[in-house]
């Protein structure tokens, strides 16, 4: 939205030029030739409202990506390094830099349980086909939730899509729940580590955290960190 | 008169209510550490179903849920003129793996069902139950939950027990099961087919209550994705 006033100014300048050229033509009898108007850039704008539905799993800054092709993740396939970096440490910068991204947005802060935030994302001159979201459940080894290439091609201005999301396991780090392995407040441990030591180096549904209260003696997590699906509510509204 | 009959049969062939269909059914195992035994994929009428939630499992469902044996279900479905594909994966469907079954359905078989046992569990199974097959061509996605047949106590002891009525879990196909568990429970209070409450597991591979690993063999719903392409 920051750049929006620029377009208004540009539009004003071009209409003034039109008036000026019309004046200069008024002295002769030649038929008036109106130059083709400078096309106004068409803006497609989306508001993405996100609510954290968990009890004690803050969500890392929400990455929002508009794209025509590709996926941020695919169930049953190996996670990209960009996804691994987000899912293990909450850093979404590599996801936002993906080459398929036509436009991106991100919330600034960690989204605490029970709270909501809004991310705005906009693009000029082309209606994007898909929207994707991704965010880490920070009191886990490599759990994340999100929206995977949801079609918005037919979304009219003012229309919304409401979704409840499930949680996934990036498959890039073992769910040891051990001290030093979890970046969230529950541990303050390590985030991204390039080593892949999960039982399965593939994206699957997350099986939930076990916690010390539910039989994993070495876990730094407690019953408070358990979660079930869905973990996030998402409302995508096309505003322009 | 002849022309009229032809028109009528042409109309019947177009009627969406009783149209034979071609389906491509892809099942993806979404879990971290649970294998699925050979799946049964079937299109059938509304006169038959694999199970009803809140009712007792049939002996055929029990055999599938406790030991992965789908032969009884296939026989029942065959008797009901269902279209059946057995074991499209050619064995176990591993975590994160997919398998595809092609199904040519007969006129009246307008419901799709899929089922397979979840290993390692006592009598847990994944299922799609009598899903109405859309008449319109397209690609449809359904997410499946895990069910408990209600026929065996979830003791979580891996002892090779797969026959109906035999306690215990046949095997942990990932080779990641434990031994020497004392058992999580010896009773099955809800003897009806119900939504599985999930596995407990423990962190002691050589003892404890459970032979399951609590960081590997738990799950949350949904546990499978079914993509149906109606041709």
> What tens digit of pLDDT does each residue of B24-75 get?
999 999 999 999 999 999 999 999 999 999 999 999 999 999 999 999 999 9
CATH class label, B21-223? mainly beta
Q: Which residues contact A56 (CB under 8 A, 6 or more apart)?
A: A113, A139, A186, A224, A225
Q: Which of B29, B203, B216 sits opposite A199 (nearest CB)?
A: B216
Which residues in chain A are contacts of B225 at CB distance < 8 A? Answer: 75
Chain A partners of B33 at a C-beta cutoff of 8 Å?
Answer: 199-200, 207
Query: How much is the ipTM here?
Result: 0.84
Is the model's pLDDT at A41 over the cut of 90? no
Question: What percent of chain B lies above the pLDDT cut of 70?
Answer: 92
Is any Cβ of chain A less than 8 angstroms from the Cβ of B36? no
Chain A residues within an 8 Å CB radius of B215: 174-177, 210, 216
Q: Using the predicted structure, report yes or no on whether residue A20 has a pLDDT greater than 60.
A: no
pLDDT value, residue B1: 37
> What's the CA gap between A233 and A225, in Å, rounded?
18
From residue A89, how far is each of A4, A81, A178, A206, A229 by CA, in Å?
34, 12, 15, 17, 21
What pLDDT band is residue A25 in, cutting at 50, 70 and 90? very low
Residue A131, pLDDT > 80, answer yes
Mean pLDDT of chain A: 89
Q: How many CB pairs under 8 A join A and B?
A: 79
In chain A, the percentage of residues whose pLDDT exceeds 70 is 87
Chain A closest-CA separation from residue B111 CA (Å): 26
A75, A181, A200, best to mutate vs chain B, most B CBs in 10 Å: A200
Percent of chain B with pLDDT over 90: 91
Is the distance from CB of A122 to CB of A1 less than 8 angstroms? Answer: yes
Averaged pLDDT, A54-75? 96
Q: What is the mean pLDDT of residues A154-180?
A: 97
Please state the length of chain B.
231
Q: Which of residues 142-181 of A touch B (CB under 8 A)?
A: 166-167, 169, 171, 174-177
**Is residue B136 over pLDDT 90?**
yes
Has residue A111 got a pLDDT over 60?
A: yes
Residues 126-185 of B with CB under 8 A from A: 174, 176
Per-residue confidence (pLDDT) for residue A76, from 0 to 100: 92
How far is the CA of A27 from the CAs of A22, A34, A70, A126, A169, in angstroms? 10, 15, 58, 42, 74
Decide: A184 and A158 in contact? Cβ < 8 Å: no
Q: Do B220 and A228 touch (CB under 8 A)?
A: yes
Q: Which fold has domain A43-238?
A: Immunoglobulin-like (2.60.40)
Instruction: Tell me what the mean pLDDT of segment B151-175 comes to.
Output: 96
Q: Which of B215, B217, B218 would you mutate first to test chain A, the one with the most A CBs within 10 A? A: B215
Rounded to the nearest integer, the mean pLDDT of chain B is 93
């Amino acid at each position: 939205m920051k750049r929006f006033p620029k377009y208004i100014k540009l539009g004003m300048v071009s209409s003034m030029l039109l008036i000026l050229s019309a004046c200069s033509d008024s002295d002769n009898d030649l038929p008036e030739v109106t130059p083709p108007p400078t096309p106004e850039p068409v803006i497609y704008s989306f508001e993405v409202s996100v609510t954290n539905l968990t009890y004690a799993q803050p969500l890392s800054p929400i990455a929002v990506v508009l794209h025509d092709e590709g996926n941020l993740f695919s169930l049953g396939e190996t996670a990209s390094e960009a996804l691994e970096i987000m899912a293990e440490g909450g850093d979404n910068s590599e996801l936002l830099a993906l080459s398929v991204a036509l436009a991106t947005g991100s919330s600034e802060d960690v989204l605490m349980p029970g709270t909501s935030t809004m991310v705005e994302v906009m693009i000029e001159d082309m209606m994007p086909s898909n929207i994707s979201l991704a965010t880490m459940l920070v009191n886990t080894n490599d759990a994340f939730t999100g929206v995977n290439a949801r079609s918005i091609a037919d979304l009219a201005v003012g229309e919304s899509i409401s979704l409840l999301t499930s949680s996934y396991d990036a498959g890039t780090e073992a769910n040891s729940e051990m001290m030093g392995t979890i970046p969230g407040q529950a541990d303050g441990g390590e985030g991204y580590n390039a080593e892949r030591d999960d039982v399965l180096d593939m994206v699957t549904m997350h099986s939930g955290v076990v916690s010390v209260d539910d039989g994993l003696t070495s876990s730094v997590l407690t019953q408070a960190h358990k979660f079930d699906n869905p973990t996030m509510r998402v409302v995508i509204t096309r505003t322009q | 008169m002849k022309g009229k009959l032809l028109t009528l049969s042409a109309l019947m062939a177009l009627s969406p209510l009783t149209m034979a269909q071609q389906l491509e059914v892809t099942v993806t195992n979404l879990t971290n550490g649970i294998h699925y035994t050979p799946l049964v994929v079937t299109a059938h009428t509304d006169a038959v179903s694999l199970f009803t939630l809140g009712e007792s499992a049939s002996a055929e469902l029990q055999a599938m849920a406790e030991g992965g044996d789908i032969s009884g279900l296939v026989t029942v479905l065959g008797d009901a003129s269902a279209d059946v594909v057995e074991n499209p994966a050619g064995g176990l469907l591993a975590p994160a793996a997919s398998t595809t079954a092609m199904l040519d359905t007969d006129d009246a078989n307008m419901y799709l069902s899929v089922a397979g046992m979840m290993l390692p569990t006592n009598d847990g199974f994944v299922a799609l139950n009598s899903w109405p097959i859309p008449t319109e061509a397209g690609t449809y996605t359904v997410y499946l939950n895990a069910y408990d047949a209600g026929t065996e106590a979830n003791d979580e002891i891996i002892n090779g027990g797969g026959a109906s009525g035999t306690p215990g879990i046949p095997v942990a196909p990932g080779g990641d099961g434990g031994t020497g568990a004392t058992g999580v429970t010896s009773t099955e209070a809800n003897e009806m087919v119900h939504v599985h409450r999930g596995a407990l597991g423990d962190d002691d591979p050589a003892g404890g209550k459970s032979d399951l690993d609590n960081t590997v063999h738990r799950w949350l719903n949904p546990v499978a994705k079914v993509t149906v392409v109606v041709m």
